[in-house]
Amino acid sequence: MSRTFLKMNGLGNDFVVVQTLTERFDPTPEQIRAIAKRDGGIGCDQVIAIDPPKAEGASAYVRFWNADGEVAGACGNGTRCVAWLLMQSAGKDAVAFDTVAGRLSGVAAGDKLVTVDMGPPGLDWTQIPLSEEMNTERVELQVGPIDAPLVHTPVCVSMGNPHVVFFVDAPVTDDFARGTGSLVEHHPLFPEGVNVGFAHVAARDHIRLKVWERGAGLTQACGTGACAAQVAAVRRGLTDRKARVEFDTGSLTIEWRESDGHVIMTGPITMEYAGKLPELVAA
């Protein structure tokens, strides 16, 4: 039996979304890779399954996989897409749903514009996690020659998935992000791998960002990466609590709320098309 999927994106960060209200979707890592493959597959950064809720007060239980087939803890742009779908199907302007990283919630903020509460960031070294105890505000890590490192002393933040954020003097190129990000992603300091952000603080309310995503590579935008970059910048005193985080494809507004410590993200979603999964991965 063929299964319908929705192709969606947030600022070009794209997803294959499968709703599993009537039949379970338990793909193997090989099947996820087949879906995500851009040459011969559907092509996406992440695959998302929207399952029936498991707990009171939730509209769904949501699972995420990276393009390499590994389970992902959270996905900010994907979270906005899920929230929009759930609000559309329920005819509501607010929704809550559960993930392996905890409960997330979204509210409508305009036409195909969604605000999601990504919860509080994890700032302790055990929450990232790191392989050894370290101050996550100034991590002892550098890339390049000892006396002239390309990047150094990043901040680490968990947004339900691990992030390391390097601050750079000018926006970096795609080639730089690929070369450096691929080196850092599997560094021994990060036993579960890590998403790698390169953040240029243009003003106290404006960050330029590129992200090398764990298991997906260089992506056009990364919602949890934007959240992590803003939290990192606030921790270093580089931005105010609310800032615009800009990718080449557009911007997200991120606020690290002082009242409860939650990270609030607002940004657009795009519905591209609906299709049928190949029989190979339909089960």
Asked whether residue 57 is assigned to any structural domain, the reply reads yes
To the question of whether residue 135 is assigned a binding role by annotation, the answer is no
To the question of whether residue 66 is assigned a binding role by annotation, the answer is yes
Residue 155 to residue 167: CA distance in whole angstroms: 9
Vertex 64, ends 62 and 67: CA angle to 5°? 160
| pLDDT, position 73 | 82
180 close to 143: Cβ distance less than 8 angstroms:
yes
Q: Which of 63-77, 118-132, 260-274 has the lowest mean pLDDT?
A: 63-77
Encoded tokens for 155: 């901040």
To the question of whether residue 270 is assigned a binding role by annotation, the answer is no
Whether residue 41 is found in the same domain as residue 104? yes
Residue 37: how many CA atoms within 13 Å on its side-chain side?
13
Residue 61 to residue 52: CA distance in whole angstroms: 6
Residue 132 phi/psi, 5° resolution? Answer: -150, 155
Q: Which of 56-60, 99-103, 127-131 has the lowest mean pLDDT?
A: 99-103
Domain harbouring 226, CATH code: 3.10.310.10
Q: Please count the structural domains in the chain.
A: 2
47: pLDDT strictly greater than 70: yes
Whether residue 12 is found in the same domain as residue 69? yes
* Ramachandran class of 193: left when φ > 0, alpha when ψ lies in -120 to 50, beta otherwise: left
Whether residue 254 is found in the same domain as residue 153? yes
Whether residue 105 is found in the same domain as residue 182? no
| Percentage of the residues of the chain whose pLDDT score is greater than 70 | 98
201 close to 137: Cβ distance less than 8 angstroms:
no
Residue 40 to residue 268: CA distance in whole angstroms: 28
Kindly list the distances between the CA atom of residue 78 and the CA atoms of 16, 95, 98, 121, 170, in Å, as whole numbers in the listed order.
10, 14, 13, 18, 28
Mean residue pLDDT across the chain: 95
Looking at 44, 75, 156, 227, which residue is catalytic? 75
Question: Among candidates 16, 50, 57, 19, which has minimal Cα distance to 33?
Answer: 16
142: pLDDT strictly greater than 90: yes
Asked whether residue 86 is assigned to any structural domain, the reply reads yes
Looking at 44, 81, 222, 227, which residue is catalytic? 222
Q: What is the pLDDT of residues 66-108, one digit of tens each?
A: 999 999 988 899 999 999 999 999 999 999 999 998 999 999 9
To the question of whether residue 127 is assigned a binding role by annotation, the answer is no
1: pLDDT strictly greater than 90: no
Res. 281 pLDDT band, cuts 50 70 90: low
To the question of whether residue 77 is assigned a binding role by annotation, the answer is yes
Whether residue 248 is found in the same domain as residue 219? yes
Asked if 44 is an active-site residue, the reply is no
Asked whether residue 126 is assigned to any structural domain, the reply reads no
Whether residue 87 is found in the same domain as residue 147? no
Asked whether residue 135 is assigned to any structural domain, the reply reads no
Residue 228 to residue 70: CA distance in whole angstroms: 21
Whether residue 79 is found in the same domain as residue 163? no
Asked if 81 is an active-site residue, the reply is no
Asked whether residue 221 is assigned to any structural domain, the reply reads yes
Q: What is the pLDDT of residues 14-25, one digit of tens each?
A: 999 999 977 889
282: pLDDT strictly greater than 70: no
Whether residue 253 is found in the same domain as residue 273? no
21 close to 88: Cβ distance less than 8 angstroms:
no
| pLDDT, position 205 | 98
- Domain of 37 in residue numbering reads as 4-118+269-281
Asked whether residue 131 is assigned to any structural domain, the reply reads no
Whether residue 96 is found in the same domain as residue 183? no
Asked whether residue 134 is assigned to any structural domain, the reply reads no
What number of residues does the chain have?
283
Whether residue 256 is found in the same domain as residue 190? yes
Instruction: Report which DSSP code applies to 59.
Output: S
Whether residue 277 is found in the same domain as residue 231? no
Could you identify the residue written with the tokens 């607002």? Answer: 266
To the question of whether residue 9 is assigned a binding role by annotation, the answer is no
To which H or E segment does residue 84 belong? helix 76-90
**Bridge partner list, 108:** 114
194 close to 214: Cβ distance less than 8 angstroms:
yes
Asked whether residue 146 is assigned to any structural domain, the reply reads yes
The beta strands (E) that lie in the chain are given as 4-10, 13-19, 46-51, 61-66, 71-72, 94-99, 102-110, 113-117, 142-143, 151-152, 155-158, 162-167, 195-203, 206-213, 217-219, 242-247, 250-256, 263-268, 270-276
Q: What is the pLDDT of residues 167-209, one digit of tens each?
A: 999 999 999 999 999 999 999 999 999 999 999 999 999 999 9
To the question of whether residue 38 is assigned a binding role by annotation, the answer is no
Whether residue 244 is found in the same domain as residue 277? no
